[in-house]
Structure formats: C-alpha cells, structure tokens
Structure 1
Amino acid sequence: MADGAALRDANGRAVDPESPLALRALRTNLVNVPADALCAESYNDEPRRLRIGATRSEHAALFEALDESPNALSASDIFQQHMAERFGVNPDFSGAEGADGKRRFRASYLRLLKGWMFDSNRAEGAVLKGWVESRFGLLPTYHKEPIRRFASDAWVVYGEEKLSTRFHNNNIHQQLDLLYEYCQWTIRRGWPDAPMPNWASHIRLYRGVNDFEEHHIVARPDKRTAVLRLNNLCSFSIQRDIAGQFGDYILDAWVPLPKVVFFRDILPRYPFQGEGEYLVIGGDYRVGVSLL
C-alpha cells in the first residue's frame, strides 16, 4: 500500500490497519475457498463444499469403511475406532500410560468439545478458534472479551491460550480436521433421522444473546434484521426455545451446511450436554433479530 493511502473495506469505510479486519484478506487457509470469500455474506447465499487439504485422501480407508456403514450409530463407532487407533483417543479416557506405568495427558478432540460446551472462552475454546484460524483463515473476534486490535491484551491472551502446550500434542489439529470431514460426510449421507435432508444446502439455527458486544455489526437494514460478523467459531442451537435460555434476543440464521463443524448427533454414544448445540464457522451472516 502506498504511503498515506487509507485501508478501506468493501463499503469504502476506513479500517484500522492493526485490526483483525485489516488483514482478513491476507490470511491463508487450507480449504478450497479463500478466507476473504469464506467470510463474506455472499458465500452463505451460495455456499461451496469445503475440503481441508488432503484429509480425505490421507484417511481414505476410514471413509471407505464409513460408506459401507448401515446406520449412523455404526458410522460413529467406525469413526471413533479410527481415532482410537490413529491417535490413541479413547472416549472413556483422555490419557496414555507411559513406560513407568504413569498416565500421561493426551490431547483429544473430545476433551476440546467438552471444554467448549462448558465455556467457549476457556483454553479449549481458544485451541478450537485457533484451528479455525489455521484451516479456514478466519480470525476470532471474541475470546473472553472483544478482540479489536492485534496489539490488544485480548489478542495476547487468545494467542497464549490457543498455543497451550497442554492441548497441542497428539496432532490435535489433524484430529479436528478429521472431525470436520466426518461431520460433513454425515451431513451428505443423510440418515433417515438426520436433522437435515442430504439435498439441503442450509439449516436454520438460533442463537441467544443479551447484547451485540460479541458481534461486530456490519449493517442494520431494519430492527428485525442485521448483518453481523460472527466469531470465527460460534455456537447455535437447532431449537429456538433452548437458544432463548442464553439471552433476551434471538438471532436466527440460515447456516450453510459446509460451515457446520460439529453437532451432537454425529457422536451419539458420547455423553455431550446440550444436544441441540451446533458449532458453526463464523464470518458475515444476515440474521433475523427478535425479542423473546
């Protein structure tokens, strides 16, 4: 950029060069859609299927076995058995026994999901947001507090927690890559009791908020509609009444299925709380806004 030239967004508004928005278009990712396009509202209108690098081809045997599974429960068992064999991740135990007989902590996608559902602003949440940043190129806008500048304390805290050595062992990002691809495989397979048919492109989800502190307002066409820049990973519910337990305002959005990272039904044997919770990749979303 030439000296003195102002950095501006798509609407011509000046952008702080130290804000996460300023470098959004410069982020790299490992999927087949550029980060800037993936963040845009237009992607949600016409979503494209997303693939994380060579994850599917590197685990071809897993997906071949999944294609032969007769039902969702069998598919879940196949997936978790593969994760146990490949990463030593046992749904009932998050450690590993060393040569001295002592149990060692082993990072697990299950532990991260459990931590997120308890509190998305803990270290587990930072690791998951860091994975989205790495794979999809979308930066977080909130972790414990709004992240408005790279030089802010909020950004430093997020950076420290996302790199926590406690969770960055056992190829945790590769585990999450497989979880995403398995989730997308399940959606496209379209089991009879699935929450969306396999021909669908979107799913209607809800989010309860007390205010818009966590979300950057891109536009507010009217009182019942807003375009929000959602956090790079955020939670929605498939049930409006459950979303209403988390705030006085209800946001409803048609979420493109390629942006769904996880939902409870893909691991039915694991005792997650919050059965209606969906983990969704963020970006700019047009949402309906209503009071309870």
Structure 2
Amino acid sequence: MDSDRTDKAVASATCDNNPTTCRGNDKSPTADASTLPAYARLPINRCNLPAVILGGITFQRYPTPIHIDGIRELHRDLFRRLEAQPDVAARVDVFRDYLTVRFCLEELEAAGYTGGARQKKRARANWERLIRGWSFNSDNREGAVLKAWVESRFGLVPRFHGESLRDPSSPAWYRYQEDRSRGLYGTNALEAQLDLLYTWCQYELTVRHRAVRHITLYRGVNRIGDHEVLGETEHGNPIILLNNLSSFTASRDRAGEFGDYILCADIPMEKILYHYGLMPDRLQGEGEFLVIGGVVEVNLST
C-alpha cells in the first residue's frame, strides 16, 4: 500500500461514516474484562493519564489526547516550525532535520561520544533504526527497546517478547530485560527520540485527519489463544489484552497473509506510535501501524 492509501484508510475509518468498518458492541462488557489488569500495568508512568485509564475499554471507545510529560513544552520550537508548514512533505523534512540537529545524529562527538569503533555502532542507533528493526522482527533487540519505552511512558507492561512474559520470574522475562538493556546501553538518548516520534505522529494525525477519532485495523493470528482473552461482550465479541506494542494493518487482505483468523479492532488514534504513511519515502515495511496496547474489544473472523 502507498501513503495515499494509508491516508484514505485513516480518513475513512470512523465507524459512523464507514459501513464496511467492523463495529464494536455498544453493550458494556463486564467490569473485570474491561479494566486493564493490575499485572499488566505500572502504578506510575510519564504521561497525563494513568495506565489503568488509557489501557481500558472505556478509553478505546472514548479516547482523549495523550501527552508525554513535558515534550511539547521542551520542544516547542519544533512544533512552531511544523505549524508554519502547510505541506506534508515539508513537515517531514522539518521533523527529520530537528532530530538530526537536536540529538547530533550526524555529529556524535558533539553529543559527547568519545569511545572507539565498537561503541560508535551503539551510539549510531536512532529512532529510524528502531522502526526498521521492528519491521524485520518485533522480538529482536530493537523490539525490546520499543516495548520498554511503551512500558516507561505509558505504564503498560509487555506481555510477549519471543515468548510469553506472563511470569515475571521466568527465563523469558530475563531475556527481555537483557535485550532491553543491550539495546539501550551506550545509545544516544533513544527514548527521548521516541518521545518526539510519538508526539510528532500524534500531531500529524491531528492535522491530516482532524475529525477522525478511530481507525479500523486488522491483525492476522493463527488462533485467538495466541492472545490473552479476558472475557467477551454480551454479543460474544472477544475482549483481549494486547501486547504493550503490536503491529496492525489497515488492509484486511494483508492481515490475512499472517494468520488463519483476523482480529478487527477500532483503534484510537492516540494509540498509534507510528504508521508507514507518515514518511512516504522510507520505512514502508509491511504497511504497518505500531499500536500501543491495553484491553480492546475485537471482532474475530476467518
């Protein structure tokens, strides 16, 4: 899919305006199933909403803006420049240039780098390489860094990284922590770069699609048991707990290439970290949307 199709997918994704969109059940699920479980959240995070709120069914249905603490204030000059550019491609250039200069991505010595060649490879890691790495394998070191960032900023605990993370004392959990540590060690403010990526993505979604609150996205699975099913609505729609960061697509056909069953969910725009239409000339991958997790109501079909 190209960027124009992505924008059309986003712009036509509201349930009320698109009869082909899968609709969630208007009935309220049971309280236990609709609430983000305590084991899947942290008591604190770094945004304006607690994890128990932004990770629940109510937020899925009635989203509100999410702001990472201090980002718009600290980088007000970036958003001033963005607001002065009516052209999408020009705003992409503004964003890239700002991060390149702000984090000295092309002059690491100016950022304080003094190590040798081996350490320089770590220092060169940036937000773009993380997204590219995720597109190849979401359970690699780059994937661990992205999941760790979501955990830190939104308080949503990862549920899967190569294998289940449901047991925090398991070898799988320690492997995730090792990938996370190795992915962040010696790098150039990677998490701060991701703060700006998310905030810029939200800015662009607001500017390009002002009236849209949700987008219908799809995810292919081999069986519903691959996800944590917390319950179901009165009409039988599954209520599942997503990993704290997951890949979706706006194409039902594309989702069908990745599993025998297709999950269909109305995802709040505020839950999108990145989508391939943001930068038409790079990071296209599989036409992915990187979706921040929590509890969601889905439709399941073959």
Q: Same fold (TM over 0.5)?
A: yes
| Cα pair 1:224 1:289 within 8 Å, conserved | no
Higher relative contact order (CA 8 A, sep 6+): 2
Q: Of residues 242, 245, 268 in structure 2, which corresponds to 1:233?
A: 245
Q: Of residues 32, 35, 41 in structure 2, which corresponds to 1:11?
A: 32
Look up the match of 2:196.
Answer: 178
Look up the match of 1:194.
Answer: none
CA drift of 1:131 comes to: 0.1
Q: Of residues 131, 149, 163 in structure 2, which corresponds to 1:113?
A: 131
In the TM superposition, 1:1-292 aligns within 5 A as 11=32, 21-24=37-40, 26-89=42-105, 96=108, 104-105=120-121, 106-165=124-183, 169-190=187-208, 197-221=209-233, 225-274=237-286, 276-291=287-302
CA drift of 1:100 comes to: 9.2
| Cα pair 2:40 2:158 within 8 Å, conserved | no
Distance in 1 separating the partners of 2:223 and 2:186: 33
CA drift of 1:235 comes to: 0.6
Q: For 1:88-117, what per-residue CA distance to the aligned partner results, in whole angstroms no more than 9, with x for missing partners?
A: 336xxxx95777995822220011101100
- SS of equivalent to 1:42: helix
CA drift of 1:269 comes to: 2.6
Q: For 1:42-69, what per-residue CA distance to the aligned partner results, in whole angstroms no more than 9, with x for missing partners?
A: 1111111000000111111110000011
- SS of equivalent to 1:128: helix
| Cα pair 1:127 1:167 within 8 Å, conserved | no
Structure 2 alignment gaps of length 5 or more: 1-29
CA drift of 1:158 comes to: 1.0
- SS of equivalent to 1:142: coil
Look up the match of 1:17.
Answer: none
Distance in 2 separating the partners of 1:166 and 1:100: 16
Change (3 A) 1:245 1:25: closer
Change (3 A) 1:115 1:223: farther
Amino acid at match of 2:32: N
Q: Normalising by structure 2, what TM-score?
A: 0.81
| Cα pair 2:151 2:244 within 8 Å, conserved | yes
CA drift of 1:148 comes to: 1.2
Change (3 A) 1:234 1:205: same
Larger mean Cα displacement after TM superposition, 128-137 or 103-112: 103-112
Q: For 1:140-164, what per-residue CA distance to the aligned partner results, in whole angstroms no more than 9, with x for missing partners?
A: 1111111111111111111111111
- SS of equivalent to 1:246: coil
Q: Normalising by structure 1, what TM-score?
A: 0.84
Distance in 1 separating the partners of 2:184 and 2:74: 26
Identity of aligned residues (%): 38
Distance in 2 separating the partners of 1:69 and 1:150: 46
Structure 1 alignment gaps of length 5 or more: 1-8, 13-19, 191-196
- SS of equivalent to 2:151: helix
Change (3 A) 1:166 1:29: closer
- SS of equivalent to 1:65: helix
Aligned CA-pair RMSD: 2.4
| Cα pair 1:142 1:214 within 8 Å, conserved | no
Whose helix proportion is higher, 1 or 2? 2
Amino acid at match of 1:157: R
| Cα pair 1:107 1:168 within 8 Å, conserved | no
- SS of equivalent to 1:284: strand
Change (3 A) 1:100 1:219: closer
Aligned residue-pair number: 265
Whose strand proportion is higher, 1 or 2? 1
